[in-house]
Amino acid sequence: MWSTRVALAATAALAIGLTGACGDGDSAGKATGAGQGGFTVPKIAARQSLGAGEGRVNLVAWAGYAEDGSNDKKVDWVHPFEKQTGCKVNTKIAGTSDEMVTLMRTGEYDAVSASGDASLRLIASGTVAPVNTALVPNYADVFPGLKLKPWNSVNGVAYGIPHGRGANLLMWRSDKVRPAPTSWGAVFDANSPYKGKVTGYDSPIYIADAALYLMSSRPELGIKNPYALDQKQFDAAVALLKTQRGLIGEYWSDYTKEVQAFKSGDSVLGTTWQVIANLAKAEKAPVEVALPKEGSTGWSDTWMVGAKAKNPNCAYKWMDWIVSPKANAQVAEWFGEAPANARACGLTADRKFCDTFHATDETYFSKVRFWTTPIAQCLDGRKDVKCVDYSKWTQAWTTIKG
């Protein structure tokens, strides 16, 4: 009884919804205090040892994360895995973080490649279990800058194996935009000469980009973390984006669209990923990219194991495989992101790949604020205010686009 009351009180005080902890009566007793974000984490034990493989593993993954040669014959790290471990891989491609959350909650999948805007939700709802990194030999070679981060751990307990990372960069047409921009101010300047040719990422999470810029341009707002915005800070970010809307030609949400827009010159300036810049250059579009002086937002994906995984041994084998130097080099190169395994850099087909993607450049990534789900209690540790949660971000995003 007592623990149930505590859990309920914690819920009310923190004003966040909890499913695993208090939605189900039977798991309420298992609730054990708050994570660093302040939310309650269901107590689920990590595995202490591994058994024999179950013969199969069911994955939820981003497109390009589990290639079996069906898209490109030469791009295949699934079949070698199957051959080596005897675990047959069954992959479900998810389009959004929310789809991943929904799929994992069915309990039918063993592992997921969650981004930072999904991982915390999976942890809090008890959908995924902590990961015993000792059972993943290749974890040792993962860049320290990716280990035990807020989006893949709680209270120093690892909940997954880092897969790779990338930054949301500033891209521009070098023939149209002069001088070369060095600040995000270029995409937020109300008097921009590139009005109607600026592009932005079409997702509520793009509000964080505005917040990131406000951190340096309006320090008086006191933004410490672009994913932890109180109402006032949030309103300022939204106002900035509403001004920016006048400059926007179009928002982008997929590769091909942005590559084509920069190639034709419909967009000349805006946010991008390294891989898109590479593709655009490959198509002879005169573009340049940079990490602006304010730093940037970015993503870091994590392989997590389902709490109710039916094939946990194969799931662990897969996690170890995907961060093994060779496979990690392949997936990073195919998807266009910095690999998680430091030794992967020696095995990429393109010798300069890790340099291009700044894989070993911790100073570079220290400026990158990886995507995290904004929740009501501020992720930056503030207790005196409530932060604006992700559903409000979504509705605001609609308002911004008008």
Residue 373 binds other proteins (CB under 8 A): yes
Distance CA 261, CA 271 (A): 12
Place of tokens 């623990």: 3
Which CB atom, from 240 or from 261, has the smaller least distance to other proteins?
A: 261
Site for other proteins in 127-186 (CB under 8 A): none
Interface with other proteins, residue 25, by CB under 8 A: no
Provide the token pair at 333: 């190169």
Helix, strand, or coil (residue 284): coil
Taking the least distance from each CB to other proteins, the nearer of 6 and 376 is 376
Cβ closest to other proteins, residue 78 vs residue 129 = 129
> Would you mind telling me the total number of residues written for the chain in this entry?
402
Nearer to other proteins, 170 or 259 (CB): 259
Instruction: Show the binding pattern over residues 98-117: x = contacts other proteins (CB under 8 A), - = does not.
Output: xx-xx---------------
375 binds other proteins (CB under 8 A): yes
Q: Is 19 in the site for other proteins (CB under 8 A)?
A: yes
Cα 241 to Cα 228: distance, rounded to the nearest angstrom: 17
Alpha-carbon gap, residue 16 to 390, rounded angstroms: 12
Binding string, residues 179-218; x marks residues near other proteins by CB under 8 A: -----------------------xxx--------------
**Strand pairing partners for 111?**
59, 305
Q: Does 402 bind other proteins (CB under 8 A)?
A: yes
Binding mask 276-305 for other proteins (x = CB under 8 A): ------------------------------
Least CB distance to other proteins at residue 196 (A): 8
When the beta carbons of 227 and 393 are compared against other proteins, the nearer one is 393
DSSP letter, residue 337: S
- By CB under 8 A, tell whether 231 contacts other proteins: no
Q: Which of 376, 380, 382, 386 binds other proteins (CB under 8 A)?
A: 376
Q: Is 119 exposed, middle or buried (0-12, 13-18, 19+ CB in 10 A)?
A: buried
* Structure-token match 């000792």, residue found: 134
Q: Which CB, 139 or 251, lies closer to other proteins?
A: 251
Nearest to 36 by CA among 123, 146, 142: 123
Asked whether position 245 contacts other proteins by CB under 8 A, the answer is: yes
Residue 328 Cβ vs other proteins, minimum distance, rounded to whole Å: 28
CB 300 within 8 A of CB 370: yes
Tell me whether residue 273 or residue 397 sits nearer to other proteins (CB atom).
397
Sequence-distant (6+) residues with CB within 8 A of 127 are 20, 101, 104, 105, 121, 306, 307
Encoded one letter per residue, x for contact with other proteins by CB under 8 A and - for no contact, window 61-100 reads: ----------------------------------xx-xx-
The DSSP 8-state label assigned to residue 163 in this structure reads: E
Residue type at 70 in one-letter notation: S
Give min distance, CB of 385 to other proteins, in A.
17
Neighbouring C-beta atoms of residue 244, cutoff 10 Å: 22
By the rule CB under 8 A, 266 interacts with other proteins: yes
The footprint of other proteins (CB under 8 A) covers 16-20, 23, 39, 95-96, 98-99, 101-102, 121, 124-125, 202-204, 245, 248-251, 253, 256-257, 260-261, 264-266, 373, 375-376, 389-395, 397-399, 401-402
